[in-house]
Amino acid sequence: MSFRVRMEETARAKGSKIVLALDFPFEKPENRESLFHRAESVLEAAHQHVCAVKINHHLVLPLGLFNGVQKLVDKAHSLGLMAIIDCKANDIGSTNQVIAEYYYAAGFDALIANPFIGWEEGIKPIFDVARRLKRGIILLAYMSHKGASEGYGQAVIDQKTGEKIPQYILFAKRALLWNADGVVVGATYPEKIREIREILGAKTPIYSPGIGAQGGEIKAALNAGARYLIVGRAIAQASNPAEAAKQIRALATV
Domain residues of the chain, as ranges?
3-253
Which residues in 79-225 belong to E strands, given as ranges? Answer: 82-89, 110-113, 136-142, 155-157, 164-166, 182-185, 206-208
* Enclosing H/E stretch for 20: strand 18-21
Question: What is the predicted pLDDT for the residue at 23?
Answer: 94
What local confidence, expressed as pLDDT, does residue 214 receive? 74
Please list the pLDDT of the chain residue by residue as tens digits (254 residues). 899 999 999 999 999 999 999 999 999 999 999 999 999 999 999 999 999 999 999 999 999 999 999 999 999 999 999 999 999 999 999 999 999 999 999 999 999 999 999 999 899 999 999 999 999 999 999 888 888 777 887 888 887 788 888 988 999 999 999 999 999 999 998 999 999 999 999 889 999 998 877 777 899 999 999 999 999 999 999 999 999 999 999 999 85
pLDDT value of position 254: 59
> Which member of 88, 124, 134, 146 is catalytic?
88
164 is catalytic: no
CATH architecture type of domain 3-253: Alpha-Beta Barrel (3.20)
Per the CB < 8 A criterion, the answer to whether 126 and 115 are in contact is no
Q: What is the pLDDT of residue 139?
A: 97
pLDDT attached to residue 154 = 85
Q: Sign of dihedral through CA atoms 148, 151, 156, 161?
A: negative
pLDDT at 137: 98
